[in-house]
Amino acid sequence: MTATSILPPALSLEFLRVVESAAIASTRTMGQGDRKFSDHAAVEAMRDAMRTVPINGRIVIGEGERDKAPMLYIGERVGMGAELPDENNPFPAVDIAVDPLEGTNLCATGSANAIAVLAAAERGGLLNAPDMYMNKLVVGPAARGCLDIDAPVKDNLKILARRLGRSIEDLVVTVLDRPRHAKLVKDIRAAGARIQLISDGDLSAGISAAVGGSGVHAVMGIGGAPEGVLTAAAMKCLNGEIQARFVLKDQLHQEDYSKVSEDSDTLARMKSMGLSDPLQIYQTDDLAPGKNIIFVMTGVTDGKVVRGVRFFGTGKRTASLIMKTQPHQVRFVDTVHIEGGPDTVIRF
């Protein structure tokens, strides 16, 4: 057998097992007030579970650079085919983006919306993005293709409201609660929309924005670039949209991002990854160009889209999403992990 770009249908269930493990391990640390401890638990569990996944996997979005992250670092080979050469590797070649614990602080404080996430695609199907900031605009299917990240906030909100058949006052925009967003928040308020400020976790907020009935209609502002790629993978499955642009640290407080300092290390890092224009706007398909996208996530703490892990003595219960582009499916998965033997009662 040779490496193939078609991902086997059962792979999504293997990845489900991986994110469930990360979620369970990190939820055990919930409320300990130590985000690094929580993150470490998720990373170890994810790395461990990944060992037995039948893939020739390569991490493209992970825990950071090899010298800083011992596990799940960018470029690490993972899965059962990791030790074998690419030629004649019996396992499918898969690029992987992970965020073993999105919202480390949320888990450490027991706050809502912490999740364990993994996206996969055929080789080259997910952008290899450096760990830096990214300005993002995320919306659901109704407004896909209608907004422009460079347009004034009020113009985008006007169009979004029209597309959703409501007034601007009926919109909720989620924004990370950071000083860098002072102007953005002012602009959203001036336009008349409502705002949900969150302490962390713009990936799960982006997923909420693309799912009807969540009460969130857009995510705006600057968060992490790796999570931007993961958001794009989710948007391909949910028919939503992300528009994004990398942001260098020294641009963070500029009102427009047109000035870029040429000698920045990050700029050099971007160039080495083939990202030559720091001002380029990335669309969903630029961030996640893959045809075969798999996106899996499990709730750590209770959230808008999935509940958190529940422990009940004789087992635990996890709530997850498995989303794929081929075939195009979104599965809401509720798993009871039974540990108590034949007397364990399974509840609805």
Closest distance between ligand VTB and the C-beta of residue 136, in Å? 8
- Measure the CA–CA gap between 121 and 107, rounded to whole angstroms: 28
Closest distance between ligand VTB and the C-beta of residue 103, in Å? 6
Residue among 226 and 290 whose Cβ is closer to ligand VTB? 226
Residue among 100 and 224 whose Cβ is closer to ligand VTB? 224
Residue among 11 and 176 whose Cβ is closer to ligand VTB? 176
- Measure the CA–CA gap between 24 and 42, rounded to whole angstroms: 8
Closest distance between ligand VTB and the C-beta of residue 227, in Å? 3
- Measure the CA–CA gap between 247 and 343, rounded to whole angstroms: 55
Closest distance between ligand VTB and the C-beta of residue 200, in Å? 3
Report in angstroms the alpha-carbon separations of 298 from 127, 249, 266, 319.
Answer: 23, 31, 32, 6
Helix (H), strand (E) counts: the chain: 9, 14
**Is beta strand 115-122 parallel, antiparallel or unpaired with respect to 294-299?**
antiparallel
Element (H, E) at 174: strand 172-176
- Measure the CA–CA gap between 99 and 300, rounded to whole angstroms: 12
Residue among 80 and 296 whose Cβ is closer to ligand VTB? 296
Closest distance between ligand VTB and the C-beta of residue 328, in Å? 26
Residue among 60 and 161 whose Cβ is closer to ligand VTB? 60
Q: For residue 304, give the 3-state DSSP assignment.
A: coil
Residue the block writes with tokens 């949320």: 106
> Which amino acid is present at 58?
R
231 neighbors 206 (Cβ within 8 angstroms): yes
Closest distance between ligand VTB and the C-beta of residue 171, in Å? 21
Closest distance between ligand VTB and the C-beta of residue 299, in Å? 15
Closest distance between ligand VTB and the C-beta of residue 80, in Å? 30
Residue among 81 and 224 whose Cβ is closer to ligand VTB? 224
Closest distance between ligand VTB and the C-beta of residue 129, in Å? 11
Residue the block writes with tokens 């990202």: 275
Element (H, E) at 106: helix 104-109
Residues 266, 106, 46, 127, CA torsion sign: negative
In 45-143, beta strands by DSSP E: 56-61, 77-78, 93-102, 115-122, 133-139
Binding site for ligand VTB (CB under 6 A): 102-103, 176, 178, 200-203, 223-224, 227
Nearest residue relative to ligand VTB (C-beta): 223
207 neighbors 182 (Cβ within 8 angstroms): no
Residue among 120 and 138 whose Cβ is closer to ligand VTB? 138
Q: Rounded to the nearest 5°, which phi and psi values hold at 221?
A: 120, -175
Residue among 14 and 227 whose Cβ is closer to ligand VTB? 227
Residue among 114 and 270 whose Cβ is closer to ligand VTB? 114
